[in-house]
């Protein structure tokens, strides 16, 4: 029994020593906690890689151009919405007053409200001058007048009113003459000088005003908003109203005339089709014009003025697609403000000459015709 007890005691001591050794052994091995830590580090590395990728993607997105900016810098400018016009006189036109009317597709940025018919009318559909000078006379017939580039011609010359036009132009390939357009007009009345012109422009923007207006050498300043009106302190009967926020005005002298003027460019498409040869430094900005005269004498003259005379005879070839008026030397002036053309009638203050007045005159529009045929005007 004694020997058996000694053996049991020895076995117990051995087990105890093994337990102590087992307890001390983990300190010689890497702690188990380092396994998850390595996993976390791998996760951090992966997360860092994701962050790096996200950062690179953000940088890539940052390097990409904003579609709007890219469109603005490189893409074609979107076509502007049609201009809207309306009648402003409630008493005279109660039915049509304030009714918005969109300009027709053929003149989406150049029309006015005909308050009698309550319809929008293209500026170049009434007497005046539009484009490559196409005129419409007081007799209702349309005709071209080529004129000459960098020269001035009298359009209307009467006792109390004289209107000159300054022509700009460009010689087309294989052309014997210039393409011409009206860049500005000068209106002389009662000793005053009114200038309406389109500034030379490289790149056209419909929202940037290129109209230039002066009265007796002083600039006329109008807020750039539709229906903004300026009235002259020197000539109370004279007013200028914006027909749209930019590049369109109505000039009115009570009892004498109304002139609608729109500044327009030659577009790349027009230049391509008609071979105008427009360059990047000049889009050939010019005026489309519409005239309405309240009173003229029976002796009125000028490119358009003569067509209001009672003795005017139309000698145009009726078979021609667009008749052309010659006689440039009769209408040439020495300067834009000079009333010295061969057929000049301007003599303000002379009312004792017995010349009869003509009232209720039709309006006229003048525009640049397509194909370089000259300025055309019509009723």
pLDDT of residue 42: 47
Of 31-45, 229-243, 313-327, which range is least confident?
31-45
In this predicted model, what pLDDT tens digit does every residue of 109-144 receive, in sequence order?
Answer: 777 787 777 888 776 655 555 555 556 666 566 777
Sign of CA dihedral 349, 354, 360, 365: negative
CA 357/CA 166 separation, integer angstroms: 28
Please determine, for residue 13, whether its predicted confidence score (pLDDT) is greater than 50.
yes
Of 7-21, 37-51, 202-216, which range is least confident?
37-51
pLDDT of residue 377: 56
pTM, entire model: 0.65
Banded pLDDT at 30 (limits 50, 70, 90): very low
Tell me which of 271 and 39 has the higher pLDDT: 271
Tell me which of 175 and 230 has the higher pLDDT: 230
pLDDT of residue 86: 82
In this predicted model, what pLDDT tens digit does every residue of 65-100 receive, in sequence order?
Answer: 444 444 445 555 566 678 788 887 777 777 788 888
Of 174-188, 287-301, 314-328, 356-370, which range is least confident?
356-370
Burial classification of residue 180, based on how many CB atoms lie within 10 Å of its CB (0-12 exposed, 13-18 middle, 19 or more buried)? buried
The two three-digit tokens of residue 103, written as one number: 């300009």
For the chain, domain boundaries:
79-123, 126-378
CA 337/CA 193 separation, integer angstroms: 7
CA 181/CA 19 separation, integer angstroms: 112
Please determine, for residue 47, whether its predicted confidence score (pLDDT) is greater than 60.
no
Contact of 365 with 124, CB cutoff 8 Å? yes
pLDDT of residue 69: 46
Mean pLDDT over 323-344 rounds to: 92
Tell me which of 213 and 3 has the higher pLDDT: 213
In this predicted model, what pLDDT tens digit does every residue of 293-319 receive, in sequence order?
Answer: 998 999 999 998 988 888 877 776 656
Place of tokens 């007890």: 5
- For the chain, the C-alpha Rg in angstroms (whole number) is 41
Average pLDDT value over all residues in the chain: 76
Distances (CA, A) of 84 to 242, 252, 268: 13, 21, 25
Give the 3-state DSSP-derived string for the chain, with helices as H, strands as E and coil as C. CHHHHHHHHHHHHHHHHHHHHHHHHHHHCCCCCHHHHHHHHHHHHHHHHHHHHHHHHHHHHHHCCCHHHHHHHCCCCCCCCCCEECECCCCCCCCCECCCEECCHHHCCCEEEECCCCEEEEHHHCCEECCEEEEECCCCCEEEECCCCCEEEEEEECCCCEEEEEEEEEECCCCCCEEEEEEEEEEEECCEEEEEEECCCCCCCCCCCCEEEEECCEECCCCCCCCCEEECCCCCCEEEEECCCCCEEEEEECCCEEEEEEEECCCHHHHHHHCCCCECCECCCEEEEEEEECEEECCCECCCHHHHCCCCCCCCCCCCCCCECCCHHHHEECCCCCCCCCCCCCCCCCCCCCCCEEECCCEEEEEEECCCCCEEEEC
Of 21-35, 161-175, 334-348, 357-371, which range is least confident?
21-35
Q: Between the CA atoms of 266, 269, 274 and 275, what dihedral angle is there, to the nearest 10 degrees?
A: 90
CA 266/CA 256 separation, integer angstroms: 32
Banded pLDDT at 159 (limits 50, 70, 90): very high
Q: What proportion of the chain, given as a percentage, has pLDDT over 90?
A: 32
Tell me which of 18 and 337 has the higher pLDDT: 337
Q: What proportion of the chain, given as a percentage, has pLDDT over 70?
A: 61
């Amino acid at each position: 029994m004694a020997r058996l007890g000694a053996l049991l005691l020895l076995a117990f001591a051995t087990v105890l020593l093994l337990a102590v050794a087992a307890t001390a052994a983990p300190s010689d091995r890497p702690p188990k906690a380092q396994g998850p830590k390595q996993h976390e580090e791998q996760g951090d590395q992966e997360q860092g890689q994701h962050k790096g990728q996200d950062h690179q993607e953000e940088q890539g997105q940052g390097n990409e151009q904003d579609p709007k900016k890219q469109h603005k810098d490189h893409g074609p400018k979107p076509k502007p919405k049609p201009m809207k016009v309306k009648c402003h006189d409630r008493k005279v036109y109660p039915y049509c007053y304030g009714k918005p009317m969109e300009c027709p597709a053929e003149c989406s940025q150049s029309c006015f409200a005909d308050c009698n018919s309550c319809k929008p009318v293209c500026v170049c559909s009434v007497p005046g001058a539009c484009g490559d000078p196409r005129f419409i006379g007081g007799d209702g017939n349309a005709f071209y007048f080529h004129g000459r580039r960098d020269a001035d011609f009298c359009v209307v010359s009467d006792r109390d009113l004289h209107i000159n036009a300054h022509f700009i132009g460009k010689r087309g390939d294989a052309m014997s003459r210039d393409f011409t357009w009206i860049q500005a007009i000068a209106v002389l009345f009662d000793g005053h000088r009114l200038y309406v012109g389109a500034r030379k422009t490289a790149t056209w923007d419909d929202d940037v005003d290129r109209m230039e207006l002066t009265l007796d050498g002083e600039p006329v300043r109008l807020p750039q908003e539709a229906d903004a009106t300026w009235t002259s302190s020197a000539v109370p009967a004279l007013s200028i109203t914006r027909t749209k926020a930019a590049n369109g005005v109505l000039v009115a002298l009570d009892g004498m005339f109304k002139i609608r003027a729109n500044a327009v460019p030659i577009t790349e498409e027009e230049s391509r089709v008609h071979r105008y040869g427009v360059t990047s430094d000049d889009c050939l900005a010019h005026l489309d014009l519409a005239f309405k005269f309240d009173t003229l004498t029976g002796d009125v003259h000028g490119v358009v003025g003569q067509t209001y005379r009672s003795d005017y005879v139309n000698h145009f070839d009726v078979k021609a697609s667009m008749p052309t008026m010659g006689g440039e030397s009769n209408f040439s002036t020495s300067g834009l403000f000079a009333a010295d053309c061969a057929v000049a009638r301007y003599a303000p203050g002379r009312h004792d000459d017995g010349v009869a007045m003509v009232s209720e005159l039709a309006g006229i529009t003048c525009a640049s015709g397509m194909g370089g045929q000259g300025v055309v005007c019509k009723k």
